[in-house]
Structure 1
Amino acid sequence: MDMPTYDIAISGAGPAGSALALALARKSPRPERIALIGRRFAASRGPAAEKAGMAIDPRTLALNHGSRILLEQLAAWPAASADIRTVHVSQAGRLGRSLIRYDELGVPRLGSVVGYDDLLYSLHAALLDSGVSLIEATPTQTLAAGQVEFDLGSSRLRSALAVQSDGIRPQGIERRYRQSAVLATVRALRPRQAWAFERFTRNGPLAILPHPHGDDLYGVVWCCPPAEAERIRSLDDTDFARALYAMFGSRLGHFQPLGERHVFPLSMHAGPSLINARCVAVGNAAQTLHPVAGQGLNLGLRDVAQLAQALSPWLARPESDPAGLLAQFARQRRPDRWLTAGITDFLPRVFATGNPLVEHAGGLALLALDILPPLRDPLARHLLQGLRT
């Protein structure tokens, strides 16, 4: 039997890989020659099966304005979302805070919060109507004779190009933050509609985000040393609510915890976008970031948008050599990737030094950002949409 051959095979059907498959399908005259390889496809089982037979991922995702536009263009925006129109940035125990408001930047919202499972379901539902070939497998790949071959276990396939989007940590720059993130959902006694909060503490940043499934619900991302994270996770609901209130303050009133709490270790990994002449990496396969400012998936979706644009002429002539287009893609992505990685690496470390002089300087910086738009707006716009070329 002949080995199936595709123009592009994408390894990894998470949010970045799925969005890339949809974006490429819109530019390809033969979307069936795009293969998306993943362990499972949520929409093929239906939402009832998802809830009954599979654990719901605890994560919520903060998607910025640019990411929302992309997903809406791909007809993959989830039904449930919570707008962010104001971001409040502060530092525990020190003066100084900054507000970033949507109307100052001329956009309808700064971003939106969605559930990870909700986003994945909407992406996979859109894929069912896209013409893309969906293959359930966990592949390994090799480069052979100008093409990429994938071993799917019981079968093999071949493609002219390959994209890694499987979440395997890239090889290159690595930083261990000695922090873990405690993820939780809480109900607030005094909710503030469309407000998100980023609070820097000596142990790490604390984010409280509006939740897509209730106006008085918030997603909590509490970063702290691993032993402290495990202690916080194991607190009973009353003690957890008290600890969160003590760290965050009274802006939202008292909290009522809901559901389980989860802990994830934090680290930064960054590697090349261009793996070889026939393979590129996007999303978490290219870079994994600290969750401060919620930039990880937003950066990955910018990878997706730029790669789909770069490959648009090649999709019309897949027999041509794509090396130049892939190299150009890697060059164009470099400034945005390294600037975003630099910001998300710097912020959680500088505010957690425990040095009073640094903390006071951080408070002054937040105050300066608040009262001087020429300082605040470039940072806000980068977080809103990144560097685009």
Structure 2
Amino acid sequence: MSEPSFDIAICGAGPVGASLALLLAKQSKAPERIALLGRAHQTSSAAQRGDPRTLALNFGSQQLLQQLHAWPTKQAPMQWVHVSQQGRLGRCLISAKEMQVPHLGAVVNYDDLLSSLHQALLQSGVTFITTEHAQAVSQAESVLVQHQNAHVHARMAVQCDGTKPQGTTRHYQQHALLATLRASKPQAEWAYERFTEHGPLALLPHPDGHDLYALVWCNPPARTQFLQQASTQEFEQHLQSSFGHRLGTLQLHSRRHVFPLALHAGPSLLAARIAAAGNAAQTLHPVAGQGLNLGLRDVAQLAQALSPWQADTQQPPMPYLQNFAKARRPDRWLTAAITDTLPRLFATRNPLIQHACGLGLLAMDTLPLARLPFARQLLLGLRA
């Protein structure tokens, strides 16, 4: 029996890989020649949700997912983002009205988004190969994709799985604690990013309830371990002290989950005929919620770059992949620089730098020329 043969093999069926498959299928004459290799999503109830994460998707990402008919029905829109620094006067407010968009974005459950994407894949014609892991290896005239004691051949491949990229690495000595909170005085469609001396703390409106918030709290590992193991009352006291009373009393509403934080950034072009997108190209600090948004910009630009190649897949794909890698470089490195610098800068113990950060937030709040370019990068990124 002859081996399966595909034009494009996508390794990883998470949000980035699934989105890329849908984008490529829309512009392909033979979507069945696009192979998506990864784990199939298992539908679960809210009480049995497999992944505790919520995702803050900006306006550009929402538009893309709506075009793919993969936007979840359950969402928590964001009209305002309030940025502050604990113990300092500076703050900055970003609003959808000023950015001239209907809303800045929305928060969705990871499982809900993946379910919507996989439902859309059922109608796309893409070939889905269920596997735990897939790795592409470049060959002379093709790519060999190995997966669970089997393999397929493709003309080119894209790594979109959680494999850490090789290149720039920084371990932040911080862990992120994730949880769901209930607020006694919720503010509809407001999101908060607060910089503390230990690390950033984000509270995002939660899609599961109007008075619920998704917490992403970054601290040194020892402090995170203490907060994870503390009693509910003690945890809530420390949280209230760090965040303040803008949302009234904050109560723990879920289990606490912990994830280590690091920067891993590598090339967009891994080898001949093999590109990288999403976490396979860069894994970022969660400050400002840029990780998946940047990954979706990766796949949008990759699909655009490959559009003329898909019209004739007999031609070599490398010139198109090289154009993609070159076009992605400014947006990727600017976003990585922002998310790398902010948590380290604001967490410094140097009082002069702390005051300077507060003044910087104040300047951004009062000067649109300072605020709008930064907000636009977080909202849409650099797009070629």
Tell me which interval the TM-score lies in, with the shorter structure as reference length. Answer: over 0.9
Question: How far did 1:142 drift?
Answer: 2.1
CA distance in 1, matches of 2:259, 2:347: 19
Correspondence for 2:249: 254
Question: How far did 1:143 drift?
Answer: 2.0
Match of 1:215, SS state, is coil
Correspondence for 1:290: 285
Deviations 1:91-136 (A, max 9, x none): 0011111100110010000111000111111001100110000001
Poorly superposed stretches of 4+, deviation over 6 Å? none
Question: How far did 1:153 drift?
Answer: 2.7
TM-score (norm 1): 0.97
CA distance in 2, matches of 1:128, 1:53: 26
Matches within 5 A, 1:43-122: 45=42, 47=43, 50-51=44-45, 56-122=50-116
Match of 1:223, SS state, is strand
| 1:28–1:53 distance in 2 versus 1, CA, 3 Å | farther
Correspondence for 2:163: 168
Matches within 5 A, 1:311-322: 311-322=306-317
Task: Choose which of 267, 272, 276 in structure 2 pairs with 1:272.
Answer: 267
Match of 1:20, SS state, is helix
Match of 2:335, SS state, is helix
Match of 1:375, SS state, is helix
Correspondence for 1:245: 240
Deviations 1:118-169 (A, max 9, x none): 1111001100110000001122332223101122234321000000001111
Correspondence for 1:387: 382
Question: How far did 1:240 drift?
Answer: 1.4
- Length, aligned pairs only: 383
Correspondence for 1:133: 127
| 1:280–1:388 distance in 2 versus 1, CA, 3 Å | same
Question: How far did 1:235 drift?
Answer: 1.6
CA distance in 2, matches of 1:142, 1:100: 44
Question: How far did 1:52 drift?
Answer: 9.8
Task: Choose which of 222, 226, 233 in structure 2 pairs with 1:231.
Answer: 226
Task: Choose which of 209, 213, 219 in structure 1 pairs with 2:214.
Answer: 219
Question: How far did 1:234 drift?
Answer: 1.1
Give the CA RMSD over aligned residues.
1.2
Correspondence for 1:9: 9
Query: Structure 2 counterpart of 1:354, which letter?
Result: R
Question: How far did 1:255 drift?
Answer: 1.1
CA distance in 1, matches of 2:299, 2:115: 18
Query: Structure 1 counterpart of 2:36, which letter?
Result: L
Question: How far did 1:313 drift?
Answer: 0.8
